[in-house]
Chains A and B, each alone.
Chain A
């Protein structure tokens, strides 16, 4: 390739470049609003840097292929896969790698039809809606049903693969799901694995992280934990984590909703009391301790 000498002497101010697209803003927002997830954040920063450099290279006519941006997010329930997908879409949009930046979130139902000839138009319709943005396929492993070889999921997979390959500049596909099942899914669909450039694993949250998440959520809802309640909630998290069906931040959110319910119930029980704004805002230890999680804490007494 004959290169313009002028290009070689062109200078690039990375800081200006970064500020002009405003992704730094999204990345700091990501840091602020998403607690923990260090490996995910590093990976997103890496991708963002790559795309930024890619953008500059394009301007300097250092041609290279459009990078493959399809991703897979694996992790346990409630680890923030959907939230991150939304952020990724806006990062990609700011950097100009997707034109519109919308996120179309679908599951098997929206892609796979119920009878012969129903799947292709359905999948294509979803793909058309996602063009120019991000297609987020939640629980992608349901597309493949190994026990039924006449399942229409395979047809959807084939259409997806074809579009992922031929229209890379038109849309970015993000597959999400629980780790072990996604591994099985990729093992039986090697085409997917090789077309996806970024496999990002979402770790479970640690206990302090879960507490920080709870406080962040409460802050957004204009609630706060009293000192006692905070202590109780720390114990709650430890106990809840050992129980089955624990789904990280989602369980925390549900726990908070139930605590709000109990708090409201407690306040309403005493109608004569004059409440201050502080009373209405704060959750007390009793609101936390009423949870069934603490029942196991006591010696096992088989009552009722």
Chain B
């Protein structure tokens, strides 16, 4: 099941050129771009691991692409996303965030029904991938 989080996630995966154009758009707005990765695709997992620090003061997308390619080399079979932070309000707020890399196979989620008192049911989504220990989730 294809994960749809952040911008552009209902579109086909962006090509590197398209990613680079989006990054350039962010940089021209003065936003700092950050690379994050994770192997826990749960939608409520919003704290992904950071690949280095957010990149401030860049002028050209080539710098971000260089880091992204290095991140892909190491975590090529995980989810990688780019987030752009705008600091113009005095604090960093996310303006744009999109997935740029995903595992070859995305096993998706199962819905767990938890029967509780009074015939009520509580629902939980669990990712099949997260059943395996960290680092071994996507083969």
Contacts and interface: CB of A to CB of B under 8 A. Distances in A.
Contact of B59 (A121, A124, A129, A167): A129
B62 A171 contact: yes
Interface in A88-131: 99-100, 102, 121, 124-125, 127-129, 131
B55 interface: yes
Interface residues of A, number: 16
B63 A133 contact: no
A51 to B, nearest CB: 19
B52 interface: yes
B57 interface: yes
B52 A170 contact: no
Interface in A153-187: 163, 167, 170-171
Contacts of B66: 124, 127-128, 131, 163, 167, 170
Contacts of A99: 60, 62
A129 B52 contact: no
Contacts of B59: 100, 102, 129, 131-133
B63 to A, nearest CB: 3
Interface residues of B, number: 12
Contacts of A127: 63, 66
B57 A129 contact: yes
Interface in B60-81: 60-64, 66-67
B58 interface: yes
A170 B62 contact: yes
B63 A131 contact: yes
Interface string B6-33: 0000000000000000000000000000
B69 to A, nearest CB: 10
Interface SS majority for chain A = loop
Contact of B60 (A100, A121, A124): A100
A132 B27 CA distance: 12
B50 to A, nearest CB: 13
Contacts of A125: 55
Contacts of B64: 128
Contacts of B62: 99, 131-132, 167, 170-171
B56 to A, nearest CB: 9
Nearest to A125: B55
A17 B58 CA distance: 31
Contacts of B67: 124, 128
Q: Which of A121, A125, A128, A167 has the most CB of B within 10 A?
A: A128
Nearest to A169: B62
Contacts of A163: 66
Contacts of A129: 57-59, 63
Nearest to A129: B57
A131 B60 contact: yes
B52 A131 contact: no
Contacts of B52: 121
Contacts of B58: 128-129, 131
Contacts of B60: 99-100, 131-133, 170
A170 B63 CA distance: 9
Interface in B35-65: 52, 55, 57-64
A268 B3 CA distance: 76
A136 to B, nearest CB: 14
A164 B139 CA distance: 35
- Residue with the greatest number of chain A CB neighbours at <10 A, chosen from B52, B57, B61, B63: B63
A75 B20 CA distance: 39
A99 B62 CA distance: 10
B12 to A, nearest CB: 26
7 contacts: A99-B62, A102-B59, A127-B63, A127-B66, A128-B63, A133-B60, A167-B62
Interface of B: 52, 55, 57-64, 66-67
Given A129-B58, A132-B59, A132-B61, 8 more contacts: A99-B62, A128-B64, A131-B58, A131-B59, A131-B60, A133-B60, A167-B66, A171-B62
The 8 closest A-B pairs by CB, nearest first: A132-B60, A128-B63, A131-B62, A170-B62, A131-B63, A131-B60, A100-B59, A132-B59
